[in-house]
């Protein structure tokens, strides 16, 4: 199959001249049409552990750290975009298809503008910084994809462990179901009274 190969530098140039992207209006329809088939809470499809229609879960993949799929404001460092843009990637998405350059442009703009689910007025940061108090020690956590997350333990919260990201102090709920058995144990031990 011959796929068009969009060039990244060109893409980013076009982005500079674009207006604000709205998640509901511009991004959700692209994901719904091309991704929900395999990445949807509603359809009970969580390929690779990713769902894009349940925003609380999707949000966990958006953060400014090395393991997040989407780094707000940094499209070139967002793995999510790389697998869509690069047709030769091992895990190219969608697996048997290629998004149009228009759709890729919109997704790139959305990430460039901060990857927010809010109606974007360009001013709202995604994560509020946590107040400075007794900071939890930083530990290593491993998720089911084998990626390591360096973060402090804050508390257990239902199905999630709340982790404190050292880079920006954000407290992020991370699903226990996405962690390795060792890290689940570490969370439970850290949360034990
Ligand atoms: C036909 C099913 C299918 C569709 C449609 C699909 N995906 Fe996937 N996706 C998968 C599977 C399966 C994996 C896990 C791949 C693996 O781990 O080898 C995956 C993994 C991923 C990953 C992680 C890749 C990595 O390197 O770990 C991302 C990001 C992703 N998908 C995004 C998307 C996006 C965005 C769309 C829509 C534009 C999409 N996917 C459409 C099946 C699909």
| pLDDT (tens digit per residue) in 1-51 | 555 555 555 555 444 444 589 999 999 999 999 999 999 999 999 988 899
The HSE-up count of residue 84 (CA atoms within 13 Å, CB side) is 25
Model pLDDT, residue 169: 78
Which atom of ligand 1 is closest in space to residue 107's alpha carbon? 35
The HSE-up count of residue 57 (CA atoms within 13 Å, CB side) is 16
Which atom of ligand 1 is closest in space to residue 97's alpha carbon? 5
Model pLDDT, residue 128: 41
Those residues whose C-beta lies under 8 Å from the C-beta of residue 74, and which sit 6 or more positions away, are 64, 111
Expressed in angstroms, the distance from the first to the final Cα of the chain is 57
Ligand 1 centroid to Cα of residue 193, in Å, is 39
**pLDDT mean over 137-161:** 90
**Cα-Cα-Cα-Cα dihedral sign, residues 56, 114, 127, 137:** positive
Distance CA(120)–CA(84), nearest Å, equals: 23
Which atom of ligand 1 is closest in space to residue 99's alpha carbon? 38
Comparing C-alpha atoms, which of 89, 124, 115 is closest to residue 31?
A: 115
Average pLDDT along the chain: 84
Let me know: does 126 contact 116? Beta carbons within 8 Å. Answer: yes
Distance CA(193)–CA(188), nearest Å, equals: 10
Residue nearest to atom 20 of ligand 1 (CA): 48
Let me know: does 7 contact 13? Beta carbons within 8 Å. Answer: no
């Amino acid at each position: 199959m011959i796929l068009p190969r969009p060039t990244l530098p060109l893409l980013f140039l076009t982005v500079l001249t674009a207006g604000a992207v709205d998640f509901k209006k511009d991004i959700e329809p692209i994901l719904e049409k091309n991704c929900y088939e395999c990445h949807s809470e509603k359809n009970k499809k969580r390929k690779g552990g990713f769902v894009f229609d349940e925003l609380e879960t999707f949000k966990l993949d958006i953060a400014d750290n090395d393991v997040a799929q989407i780094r707000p404001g940094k499209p070139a460092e967002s793995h999510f975009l790389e697998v869509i843009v690069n047709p030769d990637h091992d895990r190219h998405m969608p697996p048997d298809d290629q998004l149009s350059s228009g759709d890729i442009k919109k997704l790139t703009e959305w990430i460039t503008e901060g990857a927010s689910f809010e109606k974007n007025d360009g001013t709202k940061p995604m994560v509020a910084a946590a107040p400075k108090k007794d900071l939890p020690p930083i530990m290593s956590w491993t998720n089911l994809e084998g990626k390591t997350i360096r973060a402090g333990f804050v508390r257990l919260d239902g199905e999630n462990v709340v982790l404190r990201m050292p880079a920006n102090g954000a407290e992020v709920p991370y699903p226990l179901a996405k962690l390795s058995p060792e890290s689940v144990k570490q969370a439970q031990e850290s949360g034990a009274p």
